[in-house]
Every structure is written in C-alpha cells, then in structure tokens.
C-alpha cells in the first residue's frame, strides 16, 4: 500500500485560514471527496475534501492551525490507487471565490463553495460505500460532520453548510436535533434561528434539557442552590410512586410557565344572580334534550366577548412581536384521574352556549377516559380553569404558554352586596385573572375583569 500525501487544494483567496473543524481521525477510512476539515477566514468558511481514498494514517493539522494552498493536510495509506485521479477536480471545487458571509446569509452565492463540495461528495459516493464505520467514526469526532448518501439523504448526521454549523456552534445549538427545511433536508440558518427561538420560548427542549428532568430540573440551570435531598424514610414509613406520564409532562410545562412568565393575578367578583337563574330555568326547559347548560359555557362566551374587546389577551409573544389571533379557541382545565388536561373548544365565537356546553361535556368525558386526540388539546388562545364545582374562593392559575392570560373561577356564593341603600343577597362568582405582564398592563387586566363582570351580570351585553 502506497502512502499518499493529501495537500490543501487551490482555495482561492483563502490565505492563512484557520482550521475550525476536524471531521476525521487516524484510522478512519477516507473516501475521495470526503470532507476532512473546515477552514474559516474572516469572511467565510469552507470544507476541504480529500483528494484521495485511503485509511488516514496521520492528520497533519489540528484545530486552530493556519493553512495555505499546498500545505500537507494528511497522509493516507492508499487503498485504491485508481481512485486518485478522480479526486483532482473535486479538490478544486471549493476554490470558488468566497462571498462575504458575516451575517451568515443562506443565499446560494454565499454557500457556493460549500454546496459544490457537498454536491461533489454526494455524487462521487456510491450508496453502498457509505459504510456505517465511516459514519460512526466521523460522528465520534464531530457530530455536525455531513455524511451523505446519493440523493442527499443524511446518514445519522446533520446536513448543513459550514457557515450554518458555525452559526449553530456559536449559539450552542445541537444540530443533530434539528430537521432541515432546505433542499434535501439541509439545515438552514433559519432552521437554527427557529430552533433557538423555540427553545428560548420554552416550546422546545433540547435533549440535554430533557435529560436534566424537564425545565431546569434541579434548578442548576437557573443558578439556584440544589433541591433539598432528604431521606424521608429516616422520619417515618414512606411509599414511593413514579408520577404518571401526563403529570410529568404538565409538571414540566407548568414549571417553565411559572418561571418564565412575569405573571400577575387580579381577583374580582362577578354578580351572576340573574345569569344563574337563567341557567337553571334553561336547564329545566331543556331537560329532555339531555344537554345541561353549565356556568362554564356562559363564562366561555363572556370571555370571548372580553377577548374581542381586549385583543392583547388573545395574543401570543413571538420575540419582540405580538401575534394577535383572529380566532377564539378556548381551553378549559379538566381534572382527570391521570392529572390535569386542557381540552380546547374551537371557534367559540361562532357557537352558542348550548353547543359549547355539549362539546365541553364530550371533551371532558374524553379527557377523563384518556381518549383526547392531539387536535382536541391544541390551538387554544385563552384558557379557563374552573374549580367552581369543587369550592374555594380565589386562586392563582398558571398561564398556559404561549397564551398570555388565564381565568381562574371558583365557587359562587350568596353574599350581601350594598346597592347604595341596602345590602342585597347576590350570587357572587370569584374570578382570578392571571396575565403576562410583558404583554398586558394592570389597568388592562382590571378593565378586562370589570368588563367580564358586566357581561356576567347582564348577559345581554354579549350581543352588543
């Protein structure tokens, strides 16, 4: 077997460029055109492919080294002398003049050197020769190294240009957890940005975050002192039970939402004396229909009216922007044997109280039986958590992100209310509105609650 020297090919204007990535290690089986390293100038980065096939005997460069055209890159034990000539044109592929990429544009021009090198590698590599061993050894070194099969499919490793990989590296984004939206699944800069946003907003967790046990787990990620570890058995008999799947999922979500949202809760009372009388009489009239009208259904309709009047309560934060939703899907917390679930009633603005009551009863039943589908639990723009059937006065519900507010409702009680001349017995419903202070001000929250109270005390206002 002949020893083959692989040298830095013509890399155009790139001079004294730093090695920023190494994809291979001694002993790796190297194919013609396989990327060995990535170099980076102050303007762009590019992968340097091997001009020959063989087993890597020695890599002559390391991270941080500065290289130039003609420098010795690697020594291979040649396995197939015939493959050598085929490599020559490929080595010049990255010589395309680099385009400034300071802002990591994902334009075809900026990626040209990279794309041409990648494309050459893909077409030069027969599918059968993409051995698992090669991929495995590459992954041991650099999980971001591309390993393509013909047609551009990535084998186990993410497919992204060096500039995108550099961008991801700077942000600490694990590229292997992204799905590429680019040509043949290539990960683009936009994919990296979207993933980062999603992680920052809490909508996505990296594998590392999940492994830590939900959002923050032991609190180390927040710089908190460790969670107290107590041997409870020292103090008395104990029984340890693993939490169910739903509790684990909702727990992680609740923790994230409680920590990340600067939430404030306003408490108020609504006079529902007349509304409750109407509800009771409606149920008497509708006894035969089998549909029981609930206070929660009226609350949903009242909330839709308030959300329409104060649209920021029906919005979501997206970076520095607010997304106002022109649909009114209301989630309601349902207590189930497996834990808290939030079914969603869609388009509540288009439905009457009877229909909402019926859907609510069906969804609550499904929730309790664990039969809710994903579509029945997603898309809410606002949530109501009613403990009215159980009891209590006020509580502080946690916002269901990415929503920006949630209404907590407790048990109505008959109370003496001063009408200016005398105390009157009125049925009062305690309301607790929690809102995201990044989006909503205290005054707006007070107005929302007051408006809700007005509607509930005289439901004809819904029609206005």
Active site residues: 437
Residue nearest to ligand CAO according to CB distances in the complex: 388
Judged by CB under 6 A, the stretch of 35-43, 212-220, 230-238, 329-337 that binds ligand CAO is 329-337
Residue 422 CB, shortest distance to ligand CAO, in Å, is 25
Residue 184 CB, shortest distance to ligand CAO, in Å, is 45
- Cα(15)–Cα(36) distance, integer angstroms: 18
- CB distance 396 to 409 below 8 Å: no
Residue 336 CB, shortest distance to ligand CAO, in Å, is 7
- CB distance 430 to 410 below 8 Å: yes
Q: Which is nearer to ligand CAO, 395 or 451 (CB)?
A: 395
Residue 447 binds ligand CAO (CB under 6 A): no
Q: Which is nearer to ligand CAO, 134 or 387 (CB)?
A: 387
Judged by CB under 6 A, the stretch of 87-95, 105-113, 233-241, 327-335 that binds ligand CAO is 327-335
Residue 213 CB, shortest distance to ligand CAO, in Å, is 21
Cα separation values, 32 from 2, 148, 441, Å: 16, 13, 62
Residue 161 CB, shortest distance to ligand CAO, in Å, is 46
CA angle 376, 379, 383 (to 5 degrees): 90
What Rg do the C-alpha atoms of the chain give, in angstroms? 31
Q: Which is nearer to ligand CAO, 109 or 266 (CB)?
A: 266
In terms of DSSP bridges, do strands 54-59 and 3-7 run parallel, antiparallel, or are they unpaired?
unpaired
Interaction mask 393-432, ligand CAO, x per CB under 6 A: ----x-----------x-xx----------------x---
Residues 6+ apart with CB under 8 A from 397: 265, 333, 383, 385, 406, 407, 408, 432, 434
Closest by CA to 194, choosing from 168, 166, 158, is: 168
Q: Which is nearer to ligand CAO, 364 or 372 (CB)?
A: 364
Q: Which is nearer to ligand CAO, 28 or 436 (CB)?
A: 436
- The residue from 104, 332, 382, 459 that contacts ligand CAO (CB under 6 A) is 332
Could you say which residues in the range 288-317 bind ligand CAO, by CB under 6 A? 294-296
Closest by CA to 401, choosing from 253, 264, 194, is: 253
- Cα(144)–Cα(302) distance, integer angstroms: 52
- The residue from 79, 340, 450, 462 that contacts ligand CAO (CB under 6 A) is 340
Interaction mask 345-364, ligand CAO, x per CB under 6 A: -------------------x
Residue 372 CB, shortest distance to ligand CAO, in Å, is 12
- Cα(421)–Cα(259) distance, integer angstroms: 46
- The residue from 388, 403, 431, 434 that contacts ligand CAO (CB under 6 A) is 388
Residue 427 CB, shortest distance to ligand CAO, in Å, is 8
Residue 361 CB, shortest distance to ligand CAO, in Å, is 8
Strand partners, 429: 270
Residue 24 binds ligand CAO (CB under 6 A): no
Residue 73 binds ligand CAO (CB under 6 A): no
Judged by CB under 6 A, the stretch of 204-212, 305-313, 315-323, 385-393 that binds ligand CAO is 385-393
Closest by CA to 453, choosing from 327, 237, 305, 319, is: 305
Judged by CB under 6 A, the stretch of 52-60, 311-319, 384-392, 436-444 that binds ligand CAO is 384-392
Six token digits for residue 449: 């609650």
Could you say which residues in the range 160-189 bind ligand CAO, by CB under 6 A? none
- The residue from 45, 96, 385, 400 that contacts ligand CAO (CB under 6 A) is 385
Q: Which is nearer to ligand CAO, 148 or 366 (CB)?
A: 366
Q: Which is nearer to ligand CAO, 170 or 362 (CB)?
A: 362
Q: Which is nearer to ligand CAO, 387 or 407 (CB)?
A: 387
Residue 344 binds ligand CAO (CB under 6 A): no
Q: Which is nearer to ligand CAO, 209 or 294 (CB)?
A: 294
Residue 434 binds ligand CAO (CB under 6 A): no
- Cα(328)–Cα(305) distance, integer angstroms: 10
Tell me how crowded residue 303 is: count the other CB atoms within 10 A of its CB.
Answer: 25
Residues that bind ligand CAO (CB under 6 A): 294-296, 332-335, 340, 364, 385-389, 397, 409, 411-412, 429
């Amino acid at each position: 077997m002949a020893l083959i020297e692989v040298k830095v090919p013509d890399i155009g204007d790139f001079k004294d460029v730093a090695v920023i990535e190494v994809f291979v290690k001694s002993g790796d089986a190297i194919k013609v055109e396989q990327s060995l390293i990535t170099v980076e100038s102050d303007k762009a980065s590019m992968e340097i492919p091997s001009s020959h096939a063989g087993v890597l005997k020695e890599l002559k460069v390391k991270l941080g080294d500065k290289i130039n055209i003609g420098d010795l890159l690697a020594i291979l034990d040649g396995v197939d002398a015939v493959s050598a000539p085929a490599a020559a044109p490929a080595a010049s592929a990255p010589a395309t003049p680099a385009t400034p990429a300071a802002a990591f544009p994902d334009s075809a021009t900026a990626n040209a050197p990279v794309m041409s090198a990648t494309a050459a590698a893909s077409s030069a590599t027969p599918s059968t020769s993409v051995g698992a061993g090669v991929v495995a050894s590459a992954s041991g070194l650099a999980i971001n190294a591309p390993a393509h099969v013909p047609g551009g499919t990535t084998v186990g490793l993410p497919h992204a240009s060096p500039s995108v990989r550099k961008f991801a590296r700077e942000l600490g984004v694990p590229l292997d957890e992204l799905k590429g939206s680019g040509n043949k699944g290539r990960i683009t800069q936009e994919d990296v940005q979207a993933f980062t946003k999603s992680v920052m907003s809490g909508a996505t967790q990296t594998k590392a975050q999940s492994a830590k046990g939900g959002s923050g787990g032991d609190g180390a990620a927040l710089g908190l002192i460790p969670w107290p570890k107590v041997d409870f058995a020292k103090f008395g008999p104990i029984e340890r039970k693993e939490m169910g799947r739903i509790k684990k999922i909702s727990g992680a979500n609740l923790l994230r939402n409680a920590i990340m949202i600067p939430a404030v809760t306003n408490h108020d009372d609504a006079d529902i004396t007349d509304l409750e009388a109407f509800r009771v009489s409606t149920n008497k009239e509708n006894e035969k229909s089998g549909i029981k009208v609930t206070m929660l259904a009226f609350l949903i309709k009242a909330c839709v009216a308030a959300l329409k009047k104060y649209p920021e309560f029906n919005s979501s934060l997206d970076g520095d922007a607010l997304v106002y939703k022109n649909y009114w899907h209301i989630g309601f917390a349902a207590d189930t044997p497996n834990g808290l679930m939030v079914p969603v009633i869609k388009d509540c603005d288009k439905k009457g109280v009877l229909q909402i009551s019926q859907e609510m009863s069906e969804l609550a039943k499904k929730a309790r039986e664990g039969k809710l589908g994903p579509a029945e639990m997603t898309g809410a723009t606002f949530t109501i958590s009613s403990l009215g059937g159980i009891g209590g006065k006020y509580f502080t519900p946690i916002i269901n992100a990415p929503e920006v507010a949630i209404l907590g409702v407790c048990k109505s009680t008959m109370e003496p209310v001063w009408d200016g001349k005398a105390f009157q017995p009125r049925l009062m419903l305690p309301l607790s509105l929690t809102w995201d202070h990044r989006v909503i001000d205290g005054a707006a929250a007070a107005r929302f609650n007051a408006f809700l109270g007005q509607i509930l005390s005289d439901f004809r206002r819904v029609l206005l």
